[in-house]
Amino acid sequence: MSRSGGEGEEQAASTLSPQRLFLDVHAKRQELGPGRKSPSEAASLSVYLESSDEGSDEGSSDMDYFSGLSPYERKRLKNISENANFFASLQLSESAARLREMIKKRQPPESKRKKPKKRENGTGCRRSLRLLKVDPSGVPLPVAPEQPMLVLDENPLLPPGPLEMVPENQNDNPELLQGFLQTWAEMNKTRSKNTEKELSDIKSYKASLNDMVLSEATVHKVTGGSVSSVAIHPSESRTLVAVGSKAGQIGFWDLTQPRKEDGTLVFRPHCQPVSCLYFSPTNPAHILSLSYDGTVRCGDFSRAIFEEVYRNEGNSFSSFDFLTEEASTLLVGHWGGDMSLVDRRTPGASYEKLIKLSLAKIRTIHVHPVHRQYFIAAGLRDVHVYDVRRLTSGGSRPLIALTEHTKSLASAYFSPVTGNRVVTTCADCNLRVFDSSCMSSHLPLLTTIRHNTITGRWLTRFQAVWDPKQEDCLVVGSMAHPRRIEIFHETGKSVHSFLGDCLASVCSLNVMHPTQYVLAGGNSSGRVHVFMNSKRVSL
């Protein structure tokens, strides 16, 4: 409000009667709300109080009107008047007006930057004629056809059909290859599997395990990549180990050779990880391998070739097992949840029947060793037992479902002699043993063994397997320090731990010899560690 307006209100307030003045102040206070005062109210009160202080007769008569006010109200009105006079003496509105005028005067005028005018006839910057695609005379060059971009596959599929056994590490020594193939071709099993074999006493079994040692002579890097499968030849006269790698290699190591290099040959029959590897139970000169690349091959050392048994480039395989004892029929599991029935006696590399199982994925497949119409499949979190006689192409329901697992599964295997037990390996750090002696609608859970199975990203996952010589004991890798390979009884008790100064890494995959006390373990760098009886080492 301007100063002239304020002076006018003060003059008007001085001519009003006290009653009218009080009513005006009260009305303005009601409009502004409690606790708020207008400048005119403060000015009116100030004029009134000043006039009352002069002691005029009119003022004294008007004071009678306010005689009904309490001392607090009169003091409050006096404080309001004094505050109004104080703020009026500061002349804040005049100072603010002068400050605004000073800011307006000091503000520089807005300046717009003038854009430079383009030179119509001027010469621009020089540009490359090659980039403009014109020749020096100014004639446009012809447009070159675009070259197709070649995308190189890191793991190209190998050609179909049989592959010749050409080692990757012994190209300059054909005599060594011939001697190696002859050794494997002449290999025969000296003892057949006896299903009526009784288990050894646990004390004598422990004593035999204590005699197994590891030395520098029994540690060797066989493959270039991580070990993805391990197998031991059933021969009792020689110690022969085969390992599959994630690079598609299959390495063979004959520990009876004086030099490690002379006893090692590496082949590449696959282009992706070899996840399953078995020697034929009827012909020990044959080794069957399965790979993620959608092929199953049979290495025949007598003919020095890798014969193609089954090929399906549209699917990725995970595991297989022999449905019959003579190894003529295979069950091949796919990562997508399908299963193929393959007959090796049928010409060609196709399947006899493609079956859709009730699992989203299949990690391992294992056939019952006695009642071979049953097989067990490990999926993502469930383990299902199927009857081959009830399989259909449209979809097959499991005979038994094991749903005790809470995280991802790695494997599930029957005990190798009687099949009365099932061991599963799960990512919840538990090894579970089930009673499969009676194939009813449910397999009772016998034991839960607490074991660290978290291998991380760079190590191959653990898979607990049974010892064929002592089928109530299982073998599994360990993350504990110092590094070790452990054997547990089916009751969960620790039977033995394989330790040694030469064991400095985690052996994720391990396998025991079917008749001899020989243990082979592979790590994630292609190195194989073989524990055996000190008397058997002949190096």
What number is the average pLDDT over the span 325-347? 94
β-strand partners of 496: 487
Q: pTM for the whole thing?
A: 0.70
Lowest mean pLDDT among 73-77, 143-147, 275-279: 143-147
Q: Which residue has the higher pLDDT, 259 or 301?
A: 301
Instruction: Tell me what pLDDT residue 154 has.
Output: 63
Instruction: Tell me what pLDDT residue 295 has.
Output: 96
What number is the average pLDDT over the span 399-407? 94
Instruction: Tell me what pLDDT residue 279 has.
Output: 94
Residue 164 confidence (pLDDT) above 80: yes
Query: Residues with Cβ < 8 Å from 117, sequence gap 6 or more?
Result: none
Residue 54 confidence (pLDDT) above 70: no
Residue 65 confidence (pLDDT) above 60: no
Work out the pLDDT band at 153, boundaries 50, 70, 90: low
Q: How far, in Å, CA of 521 to CA of 57, rounded? A: 121
What number is the average pLDDT over the span 38-46? 48
Lowest mean pLDDT among 65-79, 379-393, 413-427, 473-487: 65-79
Q: How far, in Å, CA of 385 to CA of 397, rounded? A: 9
15 backbone dihedrals φ, ψ, rounded to 5°: -90, -10
Work out the pLDDT band at 145, boundaries 50, 70, 90: confident
Q: Which of 109-113, 155-159, 341-345 has the highest mean pLDDT?
A: 341-345
| Beta strand spans in 207-336 (E) | 212-213, 219-221, 227-232, 240-245, 250-254, 264-267, 274-279, 286-291, 295-300, 305-311, 317-322, 329-334
What number is the average pLDDT over the span 490-498? 96
What number is the average pLDDT over the span 441-449? 94
Q: Which residue has the higher pLDDT, 119 or 239?
A: 239
Work out the pLDDT band at 472, boundaries 50, 70, 90: very high
Residue 4 confidence (pLDDT) above 60: no
Q: How far, in Å, CA of 493 to CA of 228, rounded? A: 28
